[in-house]
């Protein structure tokens, strides 16, 4: 029988848990409310009772090699949460490994939730069969994860993989992280919407497109999906936004290709729902920002993991570390 782990994916409203083995999810995914307003101890208690339910259903704690946890923020090497985020008050500073060891006698491995999705892609998705890989997740922000020699690279302090904050534009857009010109400001869903608004404002009257008119009339209803719907119809403004987003992302992809010489760069998240139009443009721009010899040895591919990526990635953390 293969080794199995418990995967826990902590979010602002729900905690998802599942039993994960080399084949993926065994049985189903269980969702329980996070009860974030109850504070760090409440969240931890909910995680512990979910682990208890999963362990019981899977033959008891002794049947598992460990627990993997994907969480917002970072986790230091002792299992203490750093920067747990505004959605989880009181979560920062919580120690997660000790209570799991005390109650179940199980070891744990925790990491940023988006970073651990890279491991899900490696074990079960677009990264199968490769050793070195970098994942970009293009959502509300841009997150990512780096895999080297088949292992998630966490860095010396558990904070590696912040590839959304690679600066791609000198004196560019302000980012909440404190820098300017982070790739996240251009290639995330939020960044795409903001660029569309800015470019619609600039558009001269004789040069107004359908998207520009829509943005001016309904500023609160613009989404990156909508921008891509207009782009598919050939709207000039939407195509300019698309080119700029992909140019900026291509710069960051070029930087990671030069730095890591990975077998694959995996692009996922909501923005990738626009499909091959994004993928092909990013390939075109990335090629301009890295060494041709390294570029031609690296594939740029779409992510394959769906909505269970977080819980699979969490389980993969434990399988990777203790398997």
CA-based max dimension of the chain: 71
* Minimum distance, C-beta of residue 18 to Zn ion, in the bound complex (Å): 32
| Least distance in angstroms from the C-beta of 257 to Zn ion | 20
Q: Which is nearer to Zn ion, 35 or 169 (CB)?
A: 169
Minimum CB distance to Zn ion, residue 167 (Å): 8
Instruction: Give CA 198 to chain center in angstroms.
Output: 26
If the CB atoms of residues 173 and 299 are measured against Zn ion, the closer one turns out to be 173
Q: Considering only residues 12 through 51, tell me which ones interact with Zn ion, judged by CB under 5 A.
A: none
Q: What whole-number distance in Å separates Cα of residue 133 and Cα of residue 119?
A: 10
Q: What are phi and psi of 181, to 5 degrees?
A: 80, 25
Nearer to Zn ion, 186 or 230 (CB): 186
38-49 burial: b if 16+ Cβ within 10 Å, else e: eebeebbebbbe
Tell whether the torsion through CA atoms of 186, 187, 190 and 196 is positive or negative.
Answer: positive
User: Are the CB atoms for 39 and 22 separated by under 8 Å?
Assistant: no
Residues binding Zn ion: what is the number (CB under 5 A)?
5
Residues from 167 through 186 that contact Zn ion (CB under 5 A)? 175, 177, 179, 182
Report the residue number, 54 or 252, with the smaller CB distance to Zn ion: 252
Q: Calculate the alpha carbon distances from 110 to 7, 18, 19, 42, 155 in Å.
A: 10, 15, 16, 18, 13
Binding mask 142-171 for Zn ion (x = CB under 5 A): -----------------------x------
Residue 133 to residue 303: CA distance in whole angstroms: 12
Q: Closest CB to Zn ion among 22 and 174?
A: 174
Q: Smallest distance, Å, CB 141 to Zn ion?
A: 9
CA distance 203 to 237: 8
**The pairing of beta strand 133-138 with beta strand 264-268:** parallel
- Give 135 or 237: the residue with its C-beta nearer to Zn ion: 135
CB closer to Zn ion, 67 vs 256: 256
DSSP string covering 128-181: TT-S-EEEEEESSSEEEEEEETTEE---TTS----GGG-B-STT-SB-TTS-BS
The CB-of-228 to Zn ion minimum distance in angstroms stands at 23
**Measured from the CB atom, is 137 or 175 closer to Zn ion?**
175
Q: How far is the CB of 197 from Zn ion (least distance, A)?
A: 19
CB of 53 to Zn ion, least distance (A): 38
State in angstroms the smallest separation of the CB of 19 from Zn ion: 36
276 CB-near residues (< 8 Å, 6+ apart): none
Q: Which helix (H) or strand (E) holds 310?
A: helix 309-322
Q: Which residues bind Zn ion (CB under 5 A)?
A: 165, 175, 177, 179, 182
């Amino acid at each position: 029988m293969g080794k199995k782990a418990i995967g826990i994916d902590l979010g602002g409203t729900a905690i998802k848990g599942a039993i994960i083995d080399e084949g993926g999810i065994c049985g189903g995914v269980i969702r329980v409310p996070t009860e974030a307003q109850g504070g760090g101890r409440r969240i931890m208690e909910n995680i512990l009772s979910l682990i208890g339910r999963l362990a019981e259903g899977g033959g008891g704690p002794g049947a598992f090699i460990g627990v993997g946890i994907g969480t917002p923020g970072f986790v230091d090497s002792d299992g203490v949460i750093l920067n747990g985020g505004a959605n989880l008050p009181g979560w920062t500073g919580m120690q997660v490994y000790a209570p799991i060891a005390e109650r179940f006698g199980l070891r744990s491995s925790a990491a940023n939730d988006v970073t651990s999705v890279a491991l899900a892609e490696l074990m079960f998705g677009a990264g199968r069969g490769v050793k070195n890989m970098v994942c970009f997740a293009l959502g509300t922000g841009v997150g990512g994860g780096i895999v080297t020699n088949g292992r998630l690279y966490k860095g010396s302090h558990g904070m590696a993989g912040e590839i959304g904050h690679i600066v791609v534009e000198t004196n560019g857009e302000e980012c909440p992280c404190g820098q300017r010109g982070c790739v996240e400001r251009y290639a995330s869903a939020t960044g795409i919407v903001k660029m569309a608004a800015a470019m619609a404002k600039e558009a001269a009257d004789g040069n107004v497109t359908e998207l520009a008119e829509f943005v001016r009339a309904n500023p609160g209803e613009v989404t990156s999906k909508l921008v891509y719907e207009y782009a598919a119809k050939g709207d000039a403004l939407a195509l300019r936004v698309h080119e700029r987003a992909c140019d900026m992302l291509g710069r960051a992809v070029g930087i990671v290709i030069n730095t890591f010489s990975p077998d694959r760069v995996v692009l996922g998240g909501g923005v990738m729902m626009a499909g091959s139009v994004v993928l092909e443009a990013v390939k075109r721009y990335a090629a301009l920002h890295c060494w041709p010899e390294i570029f031609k040895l690296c594939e740029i591919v779409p992510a394959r993991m769906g909505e269970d990526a977080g819980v699979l990635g969490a389980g993969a953390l434990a399988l990777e570390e203790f398997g």
